[in-house]
Structure 1
Amino acid sequence: MSPGAYIAYFSMEIGLAPGVPTYAGGLGMLAGDTLRTAADLGVPMVGVSLVHRKGYFHQRVDPTGWQTEEPVAWSLDDHLTELPARASVEIEGRPVQIRAWRYDIRGTGGASVPVFLLDTDLDGNAAADRLLTHFLYGGDSHYRLCQEIVLGIGGARMLDALGYADIDRYHMNEGHAALLVLELLKRQARANGHERPRPEDIEALRPRCVFTTHTPVPAGHDQFPLAMAEKALGAGMYVCLLDEFCYEQKLNLTYLALAASHYVNGVAKKHGEVARHLYAKYRVESITNGVHVATWASEPMRALFDRHVPDWRTDNPGLRYAIGVPLGEIREAHRAAKRELLAYVNHVTNKGFDLDVFTIGYARRATAYKRPTLVFRDIERLRGIARRRAVQLVFAGKAHPHDLPGKELIQEVHRAMGLLDTDVKIAFLPEYDMTLARLLVAGTDLWLNTPQPPLEASGTSGMKAAVNGVPSLSVLDGWWIEGWIEGVTGWAIGEPGAAASDDRAAEAASLYDKLERVILPLYYDEPDRYVDVMRRAIALNGSFFNTERMLNQYVTRAYFR
C-alpha cells in the first residue's frame, strides 16, 4: 500500500448512529465499529454504502407476537451532508444518476473517516430507479441486483467523482458489493490495452481487493440467474463475466469476490475452517470479529474504566488490567446498567421486572438457525428451575420481512410468555436497534446464544456483553470457541469437540443443567464468585475481542500485505 492512499470499505449496511437507520444487524454494526476504529487509529479509510431512505424497517409486534413492518421515517439532512458530485450507472440500458450523502466519523485522536451513502432518488431517474436506495434488503432478487449495481459499480464511480483517485485497497464486507470487481476489471483491462478482460487482468487486479465473508448460510450469498444479470448489467459490463465467477448458470457474487481478492477471510477461526471447506479452490484466512469498546461500554462501565484503566479508549488491550478492579465496583457499575435496562423493560412491557432477580438476555436476528426458543424446549424443566431460583428473560430481535419461520419464532417466544408468566417473567422488546442493544448487553446478568453449529460465523453481541462484564452461556460456535473458558469467562452449552449437529434436546438439557447446577447457585449463593466471572469476562474477552485488535490484523495481513 502506498503512502497517502486510501482503503475503500464497501458494505451494504453500516451502523453509524442510532438516528441513522442504515443497518439491519450484526453486519452493519461490525462495519460501523470497523470504521469508528479506523478513525480512532488514523487508518486512511473511506466507507461506501447506500442511504436506505426507508431504513430496514420499523418493527411492530402485536399481542400474539406477530411481526409487521413499516418504513422508517427519518430526515437525511439532520444527520448527513448532501454532496454536489454525481455518478451514473446503466441498469437494463437506462442511465441511473447517483448522488452521495456524507457522514463523518470522528476518532478519539481527532482523525476522521468519511462515509458516503449513495442515493438514486433524483429527478430524471425512472420512478423504479428512484426507489433503489430506499429499502435495506427489501424487494425481490431483481431489486437486490439493481441495488448492488448501484453499490459496487456506482460506488467505485462515485469515489472517482469525489476525487478519491488514490484508492489502494478495496475491501468488500460480504459479497453484496462484489459487482465493484466488474468495474475495476474493466478499468484494468483498458489499462492493459485489452478490449475485454483476460485472466492476466484479474491477476493484476487481485492485489487491490480484499473480501470478508460473514456467513456459511446460503441465504447470505447473493446469486442471480445469468439472464437477469446480463439484462441488468448490459453487454458492456457483462463481458467481464468470466466462467469462474458463475456457478450453476448463476452469477454468484461470493465467487466473484473470491476470484478477484488477494486476501479472503472468515470472521472467526472456526468460520475460517468452514469457509475453507466451502471454497476449497481459494485460500481463506480468518480474522475474528471485534467490537468498538467505547461505543458499547455502558456509562457506568466507562466511568469504572476511566478510574482504573485511563487509556482504555485508545488501548483496548489495556482492559486486561480490569482483573485488578475491586469486585464491589464492578458489581455497582453493573447494577446501575441493570437498573437502567429494567426501567426500560418495565416502562415498555409493564412486566414488573425485579432488580434482584437473575436476568438473561437474548437479542439477535430472529431466524431459524439462531434457535431463539431453545431455552423453551422443556417448559416444565424451566419452570421447576425458576421456582427454586428466580429467573427473568429479555428477548429482542427482528425477523426479515420475508422470513416466515423467523416471524413464527417471535410468536413462539410470546406463547412461552403465556405458559410461564406466573413463574418466569419474559419480555419481548420490539424495535431492536443500536440504542436497545446498548441497554441489553450492559444490563443483563447472562448473555444467551443458541445457534445451530457450525452456522454461527462469529457473532458480536456476546463480545459487547463481555465489555460490560456480562458473561455468556453459549453453544460452542463462532467466536465463543475462542472466548470460552468454562467458569472463567462464561459457560458452554454442549460438549467441547462434539460433532456439529442440531440435537436440540441434548443442548436444551445442557442449558438447563448449567443454569440449575452451576450458574444460578453461583449468582445467588456466591455473588462474589459470580462477579469475579464478570471481571474476567472484561479482562480476558473485552481486552481481545475488539475492533482495535481486529483492524490492526486487517492492516498487517490484508491492507499492507
Structure 2
Amino acid sequence: MPGLDPSANIAIPELPDEITGLGEIALNLWWTWNADGKNLFRLVNPYLWKESGNNPIKLLQSLSKKEIERLTANETFMNEYRYVHALFTRYMEDRTVYSEEEPLPIAYFCAEYGLHHSVPIYSGGLGFLAGDILKESSDMGLPMVGIGFMYPQGYVRQVIGSDGWQNGANETINKDTAPIERVLDKEGNHMTIRVPFIDPPVYTSVWKINVGKVKLYLLDTDIEQNDPWDREISYRLYTPDMNQRLRQQIVLGIGGYRVLEELGIRYSILHLNEGHPAFALFERVRAFIENEGMKLEDAIERVKESSVFTTHTPLQTATDVYNFDMMSHYFEEYWKRLGMDKERFMQFGINPDDPAGGFNMTVFGLKMCRYRNAVSKKHRDVTRKIWKNVFDHDGPKSAPIDHVTNGVHLLTWLGDELVDELDRILGENWLNMQELPDIWLRIDELDDETIWNLHYTYKVRMVNFIRERVRRKWADEGIDPLVAMAEGVMLDPDVLTIGFARRMTEYKRPDLILHDLQRVERIVNNYARPVQIIFAGKAHPADTPGKQILQRIFKAAQDPRFRGRIAFVEDYGENVAKYLVRGCDVWLNNPLIPMEACGTSGMKAAINGTLHCSTLDGWWPEGYTGKNGWAFGGEISDDEADARALYDTIERKIVPLFYTLDERNLPAGWIDMMRESMKSVSSAFSGRRMMKEYLAKFYMPISKRCRSG
C-alpha cells in the first residue's frame, strides 16, 4: 500500500516508521465503521480520544513527538496496531463478491454526503444515504467514485436560545483536522480547475476523502483565484439565492465532470442522486461529441442509456426551477457548442404541467436518464403520478419510474457490542450475506437478558451523553435551569423513552405528539408508568415555520408541568443520531402522507432493536409486519385524528407492553418485538440489499449494453 504524500496530507504529524500506517488509517473513513479501528485510536489515549470528538487526526495532532514515539514501545498498542493495519490492508486489497460479472465504473454525483461528524458537509437524510452508498460500495468492491462539494463553512451549527428560537452559527471546516487530502496536479500543486461557461471565470480546488476503497472528490470555490461572490458558491448547502444556487449546480455538475476528466478517471455509468448535479448530463453529451466525434442525437441517446437518476421529492414544488432568462445568461454559449438552439436546450427542463415555470432540474434528470428510481414502493407510486405528463404514456402506472427502497450501512449504525453478538451467533461471514432474510433467524438465539442488557447499556450511554452536553453548556455559558431541563438534564434511563429526531419542517409534523398538552401531561407523568420524549433536529435556516415548530417543542420542554420528561437535544447530527437510534425505546415518525419519500432514521433504529412507530408512509408500508413496531393514523393525514390515534397507541399498546415484566424482571413481550424488528428490518433494509438492487436493475443492464455495442 502506498505511503502518504506529505504535501497532500499536512494534517498528519510525522510518525515513526513502525507506525506510519496509522496515518493511512486516520485518513480513511474505514475506521469509522470498524470497531477495531476505533479501538486502536482509543488505545492511543482514551481521554484525548474523547476530547477530540473521536477524530483521529485531532488526536494525533494533540500528541507531542515524544508521546508518539512512546507508542512504539507500548506492546499492547503495537500488537493492536499490527492487527488493525493487517485488517485494513486486507480490506483495501480484497475484491468482495458482489456480482458474477463486474459492472463498469460508476460516477456518483450528489450535493451532500453524510460520512462522519468531522466532515460537516451534510444536512440530512439525502446526505447520509449518499454516504452509506459509498461505504456499501466500498465493502462490495464496486468500482465507484463520488463527486460532491467541500462546503468550507459546513452546515449551520444549531444554537437554541433561551426563548427556544434556533440561531445559526456557521461552523467552518478545519481542513487541518478533517480526514481530507489535497488532490495534487502533475506539478505537485493543489489541483485547481476552471469551471467553463461562467463569466467572469470561476475556479475550484479539488480535495479527496477516502471512504474505504471509494474515492470521494470534493469541489471548493473558496480560493484566492475567485472574486468574493464566486468564493461563496461552495460556502454552504442549499443557498436560498436562486442565482447562486444555479451557479453552485453548474460547478457541481459541469465542474465535477471536468474534475474526473482532469484526473483521467473514466467511467461508463453516471448516477445522479437528485437533480442538483444534473448538468453533468449535458457535459457528458459535450464530451461524447467533442472527444468521440459523436453526432448530437447519438450523444444524447448514449447519455440516456448509461445514466441513472434517483429522485427523493414527493412534490413538484420541491424541485429546483430556474427562470429561462437566468438559464440563458449562463448557457447561451453552451447550447451553441452542443449544436442546439435555445428552444431545444430548454425543452429538456420544461415541465409540461407548468411550461412557463422555468427549467426544472428534476424534469431534466427524468428526461435525460433512461433509468430512473424513486426511493420506496410508495414513493414510486407517488412519483409516477406527479411526473406522468413528462412521459408519453397514459396513466401513472405506465410512467417509466422504478424504485429501489433505501437501505442503511449496517456497520455504521449498529452498536459495536451488538455487532460482536451478531458475529457470535451469525458467524463471522454474516456481513457478506446480510441481505438474506434466513441468516437473521438466528437472532432468536440471543437470549432475553443479552438483548435487554445491550439495549439498556445504549440507553444509559445516550442519557449520559445528553446530560454531559448540558453540563458542558452550563459550565461554559451558565445557562438557565429551565434551559438545562429542556435540554435533557433530568432524563431517566429507566423510563420508557420515545425519540423523534429528523429535520424540523412542517410536513414531518415534529410537534404532532404535543397536539393535546393535557393528554401529554397525563402520559408522561403517569406515576407507575411514566414516559419521556426526546426531540432533536434542525430547521433549515430559511424555514421560519420549521423554526416556529422547534420553538414550540422547546417551550414545552421548559414547561415545569412535564417534570423534565420532554427534552430537546441541540445540534442534531451524525454523532447525536447514533446515540439516539440505539438508546431510545421507540422511534416516532409521523409525516403528512405521502410526503415521506422513504426516511432511513427508522431503519437505523430498528436494526438496533428500537421499535418503530409511524404512519404508513415512506419505507414503513414495506417494513411493518404487525409484530415489529406500530402503525397509526389513516390513509389521509389529519392532525387531530392522527394525534388521537398516536396517544391511543402509546397508552393502550406501547406503555403496557414496556412495563409488563416477567419473573426475571424483564419485559419479555417487548424483547420479542425487538427480535422481530432486528430480524425483519436488518436484511430487507440493509445497504447491501439496496446496492444489489441498483446492480440488478441499473448498473448491470447498462454495463451489458455498453459492452455489447
TM class, shorter-chain normalised?
over 0.9
Distance 1:286 1:119, change over 3 A: same
Alpha-carbon distance in structure 1 between the residues aligned to 2:196 and 2:268: 25
Contact 1:386 1:424 survives alignment (8 Å): no
Q: Distance in 2 between matches of 1:46 and 1:320?
A: 35
Cα shift readout 1:486-523 (whole Å, capped 9, x = no counterpart): 2x11000124xx3xx33111111110111101110000
Counterpart pick for 1:221 among 296, 302, 319: 319
Contiguous gaps of at least 5 residues in structure 2: 1-98, 185-190, 392-398, 471-486, 662-666, 702-709
Q: Which residue of 2 aligns with 1:354?
A: 492
Is the Cα–Cα contact under 8 Å of residues 558 and 564 in structure 2 kept in the other structure?
Answer: no
Matches within 5 A, 1:258-337: 258-280=366-388, 281=391, 282-309=399-426, 310-317=428-435, 318-337=439-458
- Residue matched to 2:5: none
2:570 is aligned, of 427, 430, 438, to: 430
* 1:24-103 equivalent positions in 2, closer than 5 A: 24-78=123-177, 79-84=179-184, 85-103=191-209
Alpha-carbon displacement from aligned partner over 1:537-556 (angstroms, at most 9, x marks no partner): 11111222111100010011
Contact 1:474 1:491 in 2 (8 A): yes
3-state secondary structure, aligned to 2:406 = coil
SS at match of 1:468: coil
Tell me, in whole angstroms, the C-alpha distance in 2 between the residues paired with 1:511 and 1:422: 18
Query: CA 1:147–1:315 in structure 2 vs 1: closer, same or farther (change >3 Å)?
Result: same
Q: Deviations over 1:58-94 (max 9, x none)?
A: 1111122100111112222432111123332235422
CA displacement at 1:335 relative to structure 2: 0.5
Deviations 1:288-335 (A, max 9, x none): 001001000112322222222233333323444213311211101111
1:241 is matched with 345
Alignment deviations for residues 342-396 of structure 1 (CA, whole Å, 9 cap, x no partner)? 1122232353211110001000000000000000111111222233320001110
Whole-angstrom distance in 2 between the partners of 1:123 and 1:225: 30
Query: How far is 1:245 from its partner?
Result: 1.9
Q: Partner residue of 1:114?
A: 215
Distance in 1 (CA, whole Å) between partners of 2:182 and 2:467 is 40
- 1:171 aligned partner: 271
Deviates more, 1:349-358 or 1:471-480: 349-358
1:148-168 per-residue CA deviation (whole Å, 9 max, x = no partner) reads: 001000001100101112x11
Given that 1:304 and 1:333 are in contact with CA atoms closer than 8 Å, whether structure 2 keeps it comes out as: no
Unaligned runs of 5+ in 1: 107-111
Checking the alignment, whether the CA contact within 8 Å between 1:86 and 1:161 is kept in structure 2 is no
Distance 1:305 1:540 in 2: 15
Please, which moves more after superposition, 348-357 or 515-524? Answer: 348-357
The residue aligned with 1:109 is none
Give the aligned residue type for 1:171: H
The runs of at least 4 consecutive aligned structure 1 residues that moved more than 6 Å come to: none
Q: What's the counterpart of residue 387 of structure 1?
A: 525
- Residue 184 of structure 1, CA deviation: 1.3
Partner in structure 2 of residue 148 of structure 1: 249
After alignment, is 385-394 or 353-362 more displaced?
385-394
Which residue identity is paired with 2:327? A
- Pick the aligned partner of 1:125 from 219, 226, 234: 226
Q: Secondary structure at the match of 2:133?
A: helix
Distance of 2:577 and 2:204 partners within structure 1:
33
| Equivalent residue, structure 1, for 2:461 | 340
Distance 2:175 2:328 in 1: 34
Alpha-carbon distance in 1 for matches of 2:686, 2:488: 35
Equivalent AA in structure 2 for residue 95 of structure 1? P
Work out the CA distance in 1 between the residues paired with 2:127 and 2:256. Answer: 17
1:364 and 1:113 mapped to 2: Cα distance? Answer: 28
Q: 1:462 to 1:428 in 2, by over 3 A?
A: same
Does the 8 A contact of 2:103 with 2:700 survive in 1? no
Q: Which moved more, 1:353-362 or 1:315-324?
A: 315-324
Number of corresponding residues: 548
Say whether the 8 Å CA contact 2:488–2:564 is kept in structure 1: no
- Pair 1:514–1:424, CA change in 2 (3 A): farther
Counterpart in the other structure of 2:476? none
Q: Is 1:383–1:423's contact at 8 Å kept on the other side of the alignment?
A: no
Given that 1:90 and 1:234 are in contact with CA atoms closer than 8 Å, whether structure 2 keeps it comes out as no
Q: Is the 8 A contact 1:396 1:432 kept in 2?
A: yes
Aligned to 2:365: 257
Look up the SS of the partner of 2:562 in the other structure.
coil
* Inter-partner Cα distance in structure 1 for 2:616 and 2:227: 49
1:190, distance to aligned residue in structure 2 (A): 4.0
Amino acid at match of 1:150: V
CA distance in 2, matches of 1:243, 1:355: 58
1:4 and 1:313 map into 2 onto residues whose CA distance is 21
Residue 481 in structure 1 maps to residue 589 in structure 2? no
| Greater relative CO, 1 or 2 (CA 8 Å, sep 6+) | 1
Shift of 1:4: 7.4
| Identity %, equivalent residues | 36
Q: Distance in 2 between matches of 1:298 and 1:174?
A: 30
Partners of 1:312 and 1:17 lie apart in 2 by 24
What one-letter code is carried by the residue in structure 2 that aligns with 1:221? T
Q: How far apart are the structure 2 equivalents of 1:237 and 1:297? A: 48
Deviation, structure 1 residue 286: 0.6
Quote the Cα distance in structure 1 between the aligned partners of 2:611 and 2:126.
22
Structure with greater strand percent: 1
Give the C-alpha shift of residue 423 in structure 1: 4.8
How far apart in 2 are the matches of 1:421 and 1:136?
A: 39
Q: CA deviation at 1:124?
A: 2.1
SS of residue paired to 2:676: helix
- The answer to whether the 8 A contact 2:112-2:126 is kept is yes
Alignment of 1:15 with 2:114, yes or no, is yes
Aligned equivalents of 1:381, 1:242: Cα separation in 2: 54
Match of 1:509 in 2: 644
Whether the 8 Å CA contact 1:361–1:446 is kept in 2: the answer is yes
CA contact 1:5–1:44 (8 Å) conserved in 2: yes
Residues 508 and 37 (structure 1), Cα distance of their counterparts in 2 relative to 1, 3 Å cut: same
Q: Within 5 A, what are the aligned runs for 1:181-200?
A: 181-190=281-290, 197-198=296-297, 200=298
Change (3 A) 1:385 1:155: same
Aligned partner of residue 94 in structure 1, secondary structure: coil
